[in-house]
């Protein structure tokens, strides 16, 4: 596709959790919990508040279509603030500092005074019915000339457990939201910008890592299409694909619109009760429904079933709208007969509603009220097809397609959080914010200063173990040993089933120092880590004591004299071989000696001793 | 420079970036601007310039809600507690709603329970309540009952709602429900307890109860409201929805939500019991003193000339021994002194320890198991209606309005 020709405009919003000790507006730890650890449950209803103009925000109103009861899981790491039973504390200064750090790294200008707002969100993910959010800084630059509009500091929402049940452990974790201008024009550019911002965020060393800690929302529009926001893209590698598929969808919807217009298609606003037609049907859904309603879409035949995105049809969009009323989905004649509905039943349905060949008939089956609501929604979505692409908030599906979530929120959804005082960002505070080195710069420095190869340097810089690496190097450990241990060795052990993640940073540092001090050989590191992992919780002691115990067990110290006597014995036992191979015997004999020493001695020491012994023998 | 008004479109620069937004106000030397993305930010006022004058606002949300004439009529008497509010997203202002139409627009389900009349007697925070307003409240409720209302709903800030409810209970005999209701979580939030509490209170007001009660969340869940006797209820938490608790007795009943079915205990007084009667005299020269270890007796000087004083004493009902001479003087000078306990749970008994016996001997009245605040309100009412101190003392120990339990359980 020619994205320039299509007039693609895309922007992203990146949501990144911060790794602070406490939450943004209470003093709870920012700990995620297993739902099995919950200490209780409670439930609430949410209702939209009328605005001054008698309007309810359209996104909020959509959520209100169903009167929903929300259930919340609570934990011993959650307090009354998350329960919406206590006013918030002042904004967590640590979170503000991290946010300002990121703003500074992105070349932004802070607001003179930060005001916390309440943003209405009544999908249940916030117990209060709003999310607290504050605009902290504006207008930053990106390398490719793209612009960042704003950075906001906000509360993370509660995690959905299932349907209307949420877990409160995540609610209130500080989050930065970075919004770019719609300044990207290819799917790849969107992915690159997301990668760059992600790198900047990780450069602070103060953001949470792992699945779900960073989420991208992508805004996409094409010429003649509409702004669509796709929420919750977690994998960076999928971003370009999501953009490609959304462009594809908008192009397809515009083509459908043109064809509908050409055909003179229209939405017939009469809903026909066809329950009786299906009284003897083999379709279990239709059979058990109290009410089956049909909507005739004149001139829509073939288009409702047309694919607009891999795995998605116009009918899927109608179905998403209908689901807001609590129905399971819809049937339409572009896909029937199927699902137990016979060709005869389809023919009778068509006849009953007076559908011509070029018409499509959509049916919904549910209780009377829900079916009526769903039929209404189908007509609304069908009307939209006549005018092209609706502005929507969508959620990403696996593989990068998307489904309708709700209309784009209007501006009418924010008002001040009066329980939190405004905060001044003084010049002194802004000046005091130190800008950390970018991870990309750091990787280059590791190549330069430590002689790491480029790939390893980059790996170290971007690794979660970067802080451990830096501490080790600062303690005098050779960078290559530190890097290989923290990346290669730990990864290999983990792959082999060793719980190396359980070994504390202090123990790893103590181990590396022991190697550096010659108390253990670097070859013994895998065995020692394995032993440390095995004895977590079983063998007590300070990190240094635990490391020494492990060395004593796995690789007892061997003196230089011991090494020499072992080398002498092994060379003597294989004298014939040594004489035959000459210095070429060094490699094979090295293996035998090291095996005997079980890595208690640095290979370099062994190899020197062996070389001396061989020279002596051969001279 | 032109003076900016709320709603004006303004321009200003943040760093090098030109921004437009809506002017909200100037607060603490900072101009507050609502940016077009909905966020407010604060900036130095001199950086802000007018882009376009605000268009005059059309009157908000007009339109009267049509009520069902076949339903019973309830009266909503508001004192300032917010049961409905409206948010102006343009400026972010949250305004309280008091008219029946506004309340019905915000909580439409109320319309299927009853018709409503509204009467606003005050618009204050409940910490600013005072006995004169309790009297007005009692008179307003009495007038509504005389008018033939099926029930009265009093909306009230929660801080002192229990005292107001108790005061009305002493002043007013009512054959219909008089229900106090408030909300612990602000009415602008989608999670507010206002709607559920109000719906439950309307269900009780239209129901079979025949006394003054407080109706509020029973638990942190949106599952039921408890109905509390006005003279036995206390706010026991600063912020939780279920802050109101019946003390020393079970609630009078509960309302299930969302079914709004009302269950009353045997003890609840039923609709139609007795005739409406108002005795609204109060003696305001009454005080309540919370004793603490080491509190100097000179503090009592502040109550000189008072007709009554309730002590919130320690444990079974004590104050320091050194207070006794001064208390004796006060009692001799005609002050009725009533002892209650800061334990809140349990009954005062000044016959167990020496200090208690001394207090009794100088004429301190044991306040039984009355809550200190209720004892104060009662003392005002008793002394407002009974000048004889001896008879007043007897009345203080007599259950007049469900404030004293015969037995402690």
DSSP A494-529: HHTT--GGGS-HHHHHHHHHHHHTTSS-GGGHHHHH
Decide: helix, strand or coil at residue B66: coil
Ranges of each domain in chain A: 3-227, 256-391, 439-554, 560-618
Q: Give the relative orientation of helices A454-462 and A466-474 as an angle to the nearest 10 degrees.
A: 110
d(CA B116, CA B78): 12
The predicted structure's pLDDT at residue A55? 46
By the CB < 8 Å criterion, does B398 face chain A?
no
CB A494 within 8 A of CB A501: yes
d(CA A486, CA A508): 9
Which chain A residue's Cα is nearest to B83? A49
CB B389 within 8 A of CB B363: no
Q: How far is CA A7 from CA A179, A186, A224, A385, A605, in A?
A: 20, 10, 9, 20, 66
| Average pLDDT value over all residues in chain B | 92
Q: Give the one of B106, B221, B238 whose C-beta lies nearest to A50's C-beta.
A: B106
What is the ipTM score, two decimals? 0.92
By the CB < 8 Å criterion, does B20 face chain A?
no
Question: Edge-to-edge, what's the strand order for the sheet holding B308-313?
Answer: B286-290, B308-313, B336-341, B365-366
Which residue blocks in A123-238 are alpha helix, DSSP H?
187-203
CATH architecture of the domain with residue range A256-391: 2-Layer Sandwich (3.30)
| Chain A residues within 8 A of B158 when measuring between CB atoms | none
Query: What is the phi-psi region of residue A354: left when phi exceeds 0, alpha when psi lies from -120 to 50, beta otherwise?
Result: left
Q: What is the block-wise mean pLDDT of chain A (619 residues), using blocks of 10 residues?
A: 93 96 97 96 84 49 62 97 97 97 96 94 91 95 89 96 95 97 94 94 93 92 95 89 96 96 91 91 88 94 95 95 90 91 93 93 92 92 95 91 85 82 95 94 92 89 89 91 89 88 89 86 85 84 87 74 84 86 85 77 82 85
- With an 8 Å Cβ cutoff, are B61 and A424 in contact? no
Annotate A210-248 with b (16+ C-beta within 10 A) or e (fewer).
eeebbbbbbbbbbeebbebbbbebeeeebbbbbbbbbbb
Q: Give the relative orientation of helices A187-203 and A439-450 as an angle to the nearest 10 degrees.
A: 60
The predicted structure's pLDDT at residue B59? 53
- B-contacting residues in A 172-201 (Cβ below 8 Å): none
Is pLDDT larger for residue B352 or for residue A557?
A: B352
- With an 8 Å Cβ cutoff, are B39 and A414 in contact? yes
- With an 8 Å Cβ cutoff, are B222 and A49 in contact? no
Q: Give the one of B41, B86, B258 whose C-beta lies nearest to A113's C-beta.
A: B41
By the CB < 8 Å criterion, does B221 face chain A?
yes
d(CA A514, CA B96): 69
Three-state SS sequence of A33-68: CCHHHCCEEEEEECCCCCECCCCCCHHHHHHHCCCC
Q: Give yes or no: B235 in active site.
A: yes
The predicted structure's pLDDT at residue B15? 76
By the CB < 8 Å criterion, does B29 face chain A?
no
Length of chain B: 409
What are the pLDDT digits (tens) for B186-241?
888 889 999 999 999 999 999 999 999 999 999 999 999 999 999 999 999 999 99
- With an 8 Å Cβ cutoff, are B60 and A134 in contact? no
d(CA B178, CA B134): 14
CA max distance for chain A: 107
Which chain A residue's Cα is nearest to B103? A50
- With an 8 Å Cβ cutoff, are A86 and B240 in contact? yes
Query: What is the phi-psi region of residue B170: left when phi exceeds 0, alpha when psi lies from -120 to 50, beta otherwise?
Result: alpha
- Report all structural domains of chain B as residue ranges with CATH numbers, in order of start: 9-52 (2.30.30), 73-278 (3.40.50.1170), 286-396 (3.40.50.40)
Q: Which residue has the tokens 């090295």?
A: A590
Q: Give the one of A130, A133, A416 whose C-beta lies nearest to B190's C-beta.
A: A130
Structure-derived torsion over alpha carbons of residues A419, A421, A423, A424, reported in degrees to the nearest 10 = 160
> What is the percent of chain B where pLDDT is above 70?
93
Catalytic residue (choose from B159, B208, B256, B358): B159
């Amino acid at each position: 596709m020619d994205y320039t020709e299509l007039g693609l405009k895309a922007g992203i919003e990146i949501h990144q959790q911060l790794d602070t000790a406490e939450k943004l507006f209470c003093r709870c730890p920012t700990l995620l919990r297993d739902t099995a650890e919950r200490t209780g449950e409670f439930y609430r209803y949410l209702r939209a508040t009328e605005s001054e103009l008698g309007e309810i925000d359209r996104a909020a109103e959509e959520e209100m279509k169903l009167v929903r009861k929300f259930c919340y899981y609570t934990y011993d790491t959650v307090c009354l603030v998350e329960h919406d039973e206590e006013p918030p504390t002042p904004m967590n200064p640590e979170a503000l500092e991290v946010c300002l750090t990121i703003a500074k790294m992105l070349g932004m200008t802070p607001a003179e005074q930060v005001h916390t707002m309440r943003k209405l969100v009544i999908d249940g993910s916030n117990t209060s019915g709003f999310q607290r959010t504050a605009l902290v800084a504006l207008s930053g630059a990106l390398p490719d000339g793209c612009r960042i509009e704003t950075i906001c500091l906000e509360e993370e929402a509660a995690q959905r457990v299932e349907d209307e049940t949420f877990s409160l452990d995540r609610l209130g974790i500080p989050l930065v939201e970075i919004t770019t201008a719609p300044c990207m024009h290819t799917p790849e550019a969107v992915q690159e910008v997301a990668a760059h911002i992600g790198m900047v965020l990780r450069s602070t060393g103060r953001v949470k890592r792992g699945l779900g800690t960073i989420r991208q929302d992508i805004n996409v529009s094409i010429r003649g299409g509409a702004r669509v926001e796709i929420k919750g893209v977690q994998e960076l590698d999928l971003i370009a694909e999501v953009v490609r598929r959304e462009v594809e969808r908008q192009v397809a919807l515009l083509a459908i619109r043109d064809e509908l217009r050409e055909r003179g298609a229209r939405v017939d606003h009469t809903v026909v009760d066809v329950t009786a037609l299906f009284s003897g049907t083999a379709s279990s859904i239709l059979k058990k429904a109290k009410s089956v309603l049909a909507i005739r879409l004149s001139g829509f035949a073939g288009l409702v079933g047309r694919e607009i995105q891999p795995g998605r049809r116009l009918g899927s969009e109608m179905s998403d709208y209908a689901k807001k009323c609590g129905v399971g989905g819809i049937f339409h004649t572009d896909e029937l007969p199927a699902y137990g509905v016979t060709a005869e039943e389809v023919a009778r349905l068509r006849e009953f509603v007076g559908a011509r060949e070029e018409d499509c008939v959509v049916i919904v089956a549910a209780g009377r009220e829900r079916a009526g609501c769903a039929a209404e929604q189908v007509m609304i979505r069908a009307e939209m097809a006549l005018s092209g692409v609706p502005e929507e908030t969508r959620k990403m599906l696996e593989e990068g397609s998307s489904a309708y979530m709700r209309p784009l929120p209007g501006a009418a959804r924010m008002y001040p959080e009066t329980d939190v005082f405004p905060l001044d960002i003084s010049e002194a505070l802004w000046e005091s914010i130190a800008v950390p080195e970018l991870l990309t710069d750091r990787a280059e420095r590791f190549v330069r200063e430590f002689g790491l190869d480029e790939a390893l340097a980059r790996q170290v810089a971007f690794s979660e173990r970067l802080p451990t690496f830096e501490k080790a190097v600062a303690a005098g450990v050779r960078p290559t040993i530190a890097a290989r241990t923290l990346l290669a060795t730990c990864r290999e052990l983990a792959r082999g089933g060793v719980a190396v993640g359980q070994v504390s940073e202090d123990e790893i540092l103590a181990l590396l120092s022991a190697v550096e001090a010659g108390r253990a050989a670097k070859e013994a590191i895998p065995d020692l880590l394995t032993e440390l992992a095995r004895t977590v919780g079983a063998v007590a002691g300070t990190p240094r004591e635990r490391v020494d115990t492990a060395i004593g067990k796995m690789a007892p110290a061997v003196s230089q004299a011991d090494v020499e006597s072992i080398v002498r014995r092994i060379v003597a036992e294989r004298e014939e071989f040594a004489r035959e191979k000459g210095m070429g015997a060094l490699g094979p004999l090295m293996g035998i000696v090291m095996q005997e020493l079980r890595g208690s001695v640095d290979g370099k020491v062994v190899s020197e001793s062996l070389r001396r012994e061989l020279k002596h023998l051969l001279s | 420079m032109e003076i900016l008004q709320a709603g004006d479109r303004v321009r200003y620069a943040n760093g090098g970036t030109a921004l437009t937004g809506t002017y909200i106000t100037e607060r603490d030397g900072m101009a507050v601007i609502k940016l077009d993305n909905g966020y407010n930010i604060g900036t130095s006022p001199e950086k802000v310039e007018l882009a376009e004058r605000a268009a005059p606002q059309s009157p908000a949300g007009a339109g009267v809600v049509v009520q069902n004439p076949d339903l019973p009529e309830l009266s909503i008497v508001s004192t300032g507690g917010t049961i409905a509010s409206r948010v102006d997203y343009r400026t972010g202002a949250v305004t309280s709603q008091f008219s029946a139409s506004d309340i019905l627009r915000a909580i439409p389900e109320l319309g299927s329970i009853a018709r409503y009349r509204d009467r606003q007697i005050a618009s204050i925070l409940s910490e600013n309540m005072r006995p004169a307003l309790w009297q007005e409240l009692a008179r307003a409720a009495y007038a509504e009952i005389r008018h033939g209302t099926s029930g009265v709903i009093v909306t009230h800030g929660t801080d002192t709602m229990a005292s107001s409810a108790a005061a009305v209970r002493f002043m007013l005999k009512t054959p219909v429900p008089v229900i106090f209701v408030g909300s612990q979580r602000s009415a602008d939030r989608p999670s507010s307890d206002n709607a559920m509490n109000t719906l439950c209170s309307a269900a009780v007001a239209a129901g079979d109860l025949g006394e003054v009660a407080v109706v509020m969340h029973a638990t942190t869940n949106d599952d039921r409201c408890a109905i509390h006797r006005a003279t036995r209820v206390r706010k026991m938490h600063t912020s939780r929805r279920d802050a109101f608790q019946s003390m020393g007795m079970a609630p009078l009943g509960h309302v299930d939500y969302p079914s709004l079915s009302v269950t009353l205990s045997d003890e609840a007084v039923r609709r139609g019991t007795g005739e409406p009667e108002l005795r609204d005299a109060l003696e305001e020269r009454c005080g309540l003193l919370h004793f603490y270890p080491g509190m100097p007796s000179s503090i009592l000087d502040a109550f000189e000339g008072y007709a009554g004083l309730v002590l919130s004493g320690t444990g079974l009902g004590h104050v320091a021994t050194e207070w006794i001479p001064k208390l004796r003087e006060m009692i001799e000078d005609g002050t009725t002194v009533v002892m209650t306990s800061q334990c809140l749970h349990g009954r005062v008994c000044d016959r167990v320890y020496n200090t208690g016996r001394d207090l009794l001997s100088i004429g301190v009245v044991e306040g039984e198991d009355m809550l200190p605040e209720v004892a104060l309100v009662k003392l005002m009412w008793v002394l407002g209606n009974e000048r004889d101190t001896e008879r007043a003392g007897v009345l203080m120990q007599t259950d007049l309005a469900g404030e004293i339990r015969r037995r402690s359980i």
